[in-house]
Amino acid sequence: MKKGIWEDFDGYDSINEEIKASHITASKRAFELDFADQYIKRLHPDRLALKIADIIQETPTTKTFRLVSEDNELPPFQAGQYLSLLIEVQGIRTSRPYSISSQPNQIGYYDITVKQVKNGLVSTFLLNHVNIGDSLTVSGPQGNFYFNPLVHDENMICIAGGSGITPFMSMIREIVDRGLPRTLTLFYGNRYADDIIFHEQLTHISDHFERFRYIPVIEKASQDYQGQCGLITADLIKEVAGASEKATFFLCGPQGMYDFCLPQIEHLGIPRKKIRKELYGPPLDICKDPGWPKEIERDRLFSVSVKNGQTISAPAASPLLVSLEKGGVVPPSICRSGECSMCRVKILSGKVFQPADTPVRKSDSQYGYVHSCVSYPLEDLEILL
Ligand code: FES
């Protein structure tokens, strides 16, 4: 082959060696980055295709769905985190967050425990039309409601209401399985005794594990009910758990439970920073929010036009995200409680109502973005997805 003109220059050979070496390093680095990228995606996948391996009837209105991976790999999670189920029901594409009720020290399966919600689109579908062997699409594990040993006290006082027991079930199972040095007192409120989920398991664990105390509290108990009746009050917490200054409180349940229990806990002198509250969806009835403008009737319809897209109609008392999904416009969503920012839309014109404690970033509100899962139209809107 003919010799190149450069080959006669001083230092040609050493420069050539350096170029070759840098090519090898660059391709090795690209391989390493690719490997790291794949590893991160395995730990934090956007989507998982899971199969229902088992269905366990927990109460007349609650079932646990055991989900396994089609390729035997499930990402790890923290006890207390949730999966967002992505599903189409009656032609509506939507999502629902469900806390994982199984323990994280095994990742052969995830359990999600679903309770019938009155007129609930997704819970009705799951409880009545989903069978073993069916496939479901979920997000990777999400959420911040978990024990952090750097911040939280080893003495945990947990208050659950209804299906809000699910993240605690994961925490309790992990503590027992791994023998973690934590003390957990669980107050579990339900309207009726038949509503209690996991009652036998919780009773069994509390009988055999001295660092776990279980206090079911029934609001409307029958006359022959032997256990604790009424609501979870400051007096009850003090009587069972004693001095709670060196405890961290964890709460998960419906809005009514927060409205009642938070002042009770504060009455015990517990500072707000020692109270962790899990998100539990949008407010049950936004028209009862103290800031709701009384002149806007709940059924009043507004039009919402999506820039360069379609126009849908949206009732005042329904979260904007729900109206968009019903109209066939599907912004991404995970938490449906105002936390993850996935469902952000920009309001180009018109006004929405957002509850006072909605966690919106300063930059979002500055540029007109809202979380559509906890925003309600008060006027006709134009939005940008
Ligand atoms: S879905 Fe998470 S903020 Fe709306």
C-alpha 38 – ligand 1 centre gap (Å): 26
Low-confidence ranges of the chain (pLDDT < 50): none
Whole-number pLDDT of residue 37: 75
Residues with CB under 6 A from ligand 1: 333-336, 338-343, 371, 373
The rounded distance, in Å, linking the Cα atoms of 295 and 90 is 33
C-alpha 204 – ligand 1 centre gap (Å): 37
* Residue to probe by mutation, ligand 1, list 336, 352, 358, most atoms within 8 Å of CB: 336
Whole-number pLDDT of residue 202: 98
**Strands ordered across the beta sheet of 344-349:** 311-315, 301-306, 381-384, 344-349, 369-371
The rounded distance, in Å, linking the Cα atoms of 221 and 229 is 6
pLDDT digits (tens, 9 = 90+) for 118-165: 999 999 999 999 999 999 999 999 999 999 999 999 999 999 999 999
Whole-number pLDDT of residue 241: 93
The rounded distance, in Å, linking the Cα atoms of 282 and 254 is 10
Q: Which of 76, 238, 30 is nearest to 170 (CA)?
A: 76
C-alpha 236 – ligand 1 centre gap (Å): 35
C-alpha 340 – ligand 1 centre gap (Å): 5
Closest ligand 1 atom number to CA of residue 333 = 1
Q: Which of 329, 325, 143, 92 is nearest to 252 (CA)?
A: 143
Whole-number pLDDT of residue 1: 57
pLDDT digits (tens, 9 = 90+) for 17-72: 888 888 777 777 777 777 777 777 777 788 999 999 999 999 999 999 999 998 76
> Which domains, ranges and CATH numbers included, belong to the chain?
48-138 (2.40.30.10), 155-277 (3.40.50.80), 286-384 (3.10.20.30)
| Amino acid in the structure at residue 34 | D
